[in-house]
Amino acid sequence: MIASWWRPTSWAQLLILLGIVCAVKPAFALEHQDFTLDNGLRVILVREAKAPIMISKICYRVGSIDEQPGKTGLSHMLEHMMFQGTPAIPAGEFHRRIAQQGGEDNASTSHDATCYYIKLAADRAALAVQLEADRLRHLSLHEAAFHSENQVVQEERRTRTDGDPNARFLEQFHSKAYAGHPYGRPIIGWMPEIQQLTIQDLRAWWQRYYVPNNAVLVMVGDLDLSAMAEQIRLAFADIPKQAEPPPPILPPLPEQVAADNRRVQVQDSSVTLPLWYGGYPVPTWSDDNAQEVLALELLATILGGGSSSRLYQRLVLQEALAVSTSAHYAGYARSWELFTLAATPNAESNKPEISSPGAALPHMERIILEEVARLAQEPVSERELQRAKNSMIAQHIYSHDSIHELASTIGMLSSSGIAWRTLIEEYPQRLSAVQASDLQRVAARYLRADRLTIGVLQP
């Protein structure tokens, strides 16, 4: 209850008030059921009745992280084949049945998981359950369909990676920065290896990883949770549990980057503006390092989160060296990942020493490294820290106002082995508890020059 003598008179005060409220009461208290069938399928049901719709999302804990050199692209290739039908539902019929009910469906492959979603009116939720159970058990993997879909994947790579200079550059950058780690390989796969995949490879991959004990089924929407749970049991319970898939062998988080992996220089005739890119290897979420992960998220917001961020203020507004800046970190992967920074030079700089966008690159790099080093040398002010927290809490709340975003977040966290309720319901309180000293300590530990890989793309 707000005291009668104080009323918020500005957005800043209102956000501070919201921060206080979040500190004592969870932003979310989701009505849900979370259980595991005898065959190992984990089921998470969330009632969200703001609209009469629902999202079904099934995530298999397999992605490019599980692939071996020579067989890259297997997980993404199998994602395509999951729409090729079953004996009961021929190819093309899966999409058609959903479209007939006014719904939509799609899929995605990441480093860590392969996920499939179906969006339908809530009273049609049983259709999603029926379709997903059928293709988990009875997927048709035919030679002719495989060859056709393999051509589609090759064209996808040509269009989205080989034909895009920024994508080509980032592929080379990640290969260097993640040296020896599966995250350094492209999710879609290397083209020669995509071309050499066989239907036998796909069958073995499906049999190994597409098992109930390697999946999580998330359903969010205007659902009767008890009735939905019973329908899921009837559809999935008799699919037998299989051997646990082998975990990937992953290199540990490096203490420093090898000298020959610290800089990637690429020249490309199809590029019009240069790009500066940098990445530091950093940890991801576990119960032991939650404070570090939240501190890294705040550091990314302070450095590159919008027009109030340090890099934007310095490079774009003060020095007029760049037209855009950004920082990115998402600490919820199955292995360590990169804290990345990016900046694009200003093609119309009026500084006499900057004769071209390429000439701005060393000046930009110096300022970026200065700003990163400053985070370790001096604490962030309470005002700047609170502004970053307010922004992140607001983004967290707004993003989960969408049932699609909520289902995606639960699926991503659960397939990465993270307690989803901790990161959704308790996020504002946990973030509010991070102090300026935490940011300074984490910046000094992880955002060091000897841990940085720099990539430069130039015309």
For residue 415, CA distances in Å to 94, 132, 209, 378, 418 come to: 24, 17, 13, 37, 7
Same domain, 95 and 145: yes
Residue 284 within any structural domain of the chain: yes
Same domain, 149 and 266: no
Residue 164 within any structural domain of the chain: yes
Mean of pLDDT values over 51-63: 97
SS3 231: helix
Quick one: pLDDT at residue 355? 64
Same domain, 361 and 215: no
Q: How far apart are CA 58 and CA 215, in angstroms?
A: 7
Same domain, 36 and 135: yes
Task: Please report which confidence band the pLDDT of residue 12 belongs to, taking 50, 70 and 90 as the band edges.
Answer: very low
How many residues are there in the chain?
Answer: 459
Helix, strand, coil percentages (3-state) for the chain, rounded to 5, are 50, 15, 35
Q: How far apart are CA 332 and CA 427, in angstroms?
A: 13
Token pair, residue 329, equals 């970190």
Residue 37 within any structural domain of the chain: yes
Token pair, residue 63, equals 């992605």
Same domain, 433 and 286: yes
Residue 122 within any structural domain of the chain: yes
pLDDT tens for 151-177 read 999 999 999 999 999 999 999 999 999
Same domain, 224 and 360: no
Q: How far apart are CA 407 and CA 128, in angstroms?
A: 14
Residue 13 within any structural domain of the chain: no
Are the C-beta atoms of residues 19 and 429 closer than 8 Å to each other? no
Quick one: pLDDT at residue 286? 87
Between strands 263-267 and 453-458, the pairing is parallel
Task: Please report which confidence band the pLDDT of residue 126 belongs to, taking 50, 70 and 90 as the band edges.
Answer: very high
The residue from 174, 202, 236 where one domain ends is: 236
For residue 341, which amino acid is it? Answer: L
Residue 253 within any structural domain of the chain: no
The percentage of residues in the chain with a pLDDT greater than 70, rounded to a whole number, is 92
Q: How far apart are CA 159 and CA 143, in angstroms?
A: 25
Write the CB contacts of 253 (distance below 8 Å, at least 6 apart in sequence).
281, 282, 283, 336
At residue 84, φ and ψ (nearest 5 deg) are -90, 10
pLDDT tens for 246-277 read 999 999 999 999 888 899 999 999 998 899 99
Same domain, 218 and 284: no
pLDDT tens for 401-448 read 899 999 999 999 999 999 999 889 999 999 999 999 999 999 999 999
Same domain, 94 and 133: yes
Q: What is the H or E stretch that residue 421 is in?
A: helix 420-425
Same domain, 191 and 231: yes
Residue 409 within any structural domain of the chain: yes
Q: Would the pLDDT of 128 be above 80? A: yes
Are the C-beta atoms of residues 112 and 416 closer than 8 Å to each other? yes
Which of 162, 149, 164 shows the shortest CA–CA distance to 195? 149
Token pair, residue 91, equals 């190819």
Quick one: pLDDT at residue 3? 32
Q: Would the pLDDT of 333 be above 80? A: yes
pLDDT tens for 183-240 read 999 999 999 999 999 999 999 999 999 999 999 999 999 999 999 999 999 999 999 9
Kindly report the CA angle at 78 between 251 and 198, in degrees rounded to 5?
90
Same domain, 220 and 306: no
What domain range is 447 assigned to?
Answer: 259-458
Sign of the Cα pseudo-torsion (223, 213, 183, 166, in order)? negative
Mean of pLDDT values over 119-124: 98
Quick one: pLDDT at residue 22? 43
CB-CB neighbours of 180 under 10 Å: 10
For 224-331, strand residue ranges (E) read 263-267, 275-282, 322-328
Q: How far apart are CA 284 and CA 332, in angstroms?
A: 6
Mean of pLDDT values over 314-334: 95
Query: What integer best gives the mean pLDDT of the chain?
Result: 92
Token pair, residue 69, equals 């050199």
* Domain total in the chain: 2
Same domain, 269 and 148: no
The residue from 204, 236, 268 where one domain ends is: 236
Domain containing residue 302: CATH number: 3.30.830.10
Same domain, 325 and 231: no
Residue 205 within any structural domain of the chain: yes
Q: Would the pLDDT of 288 be above 90? A: no
Mean of pLDDT values over 91-109: 96
Token pair, residue 233, equals 């049991």
At residue 374, φ and ψ (nearest 5 deg) are -60, -30
Which of 201, 22, 55 shows the shortest CA–CA distance to 122? 55
Largest CA distance in the chain: 74
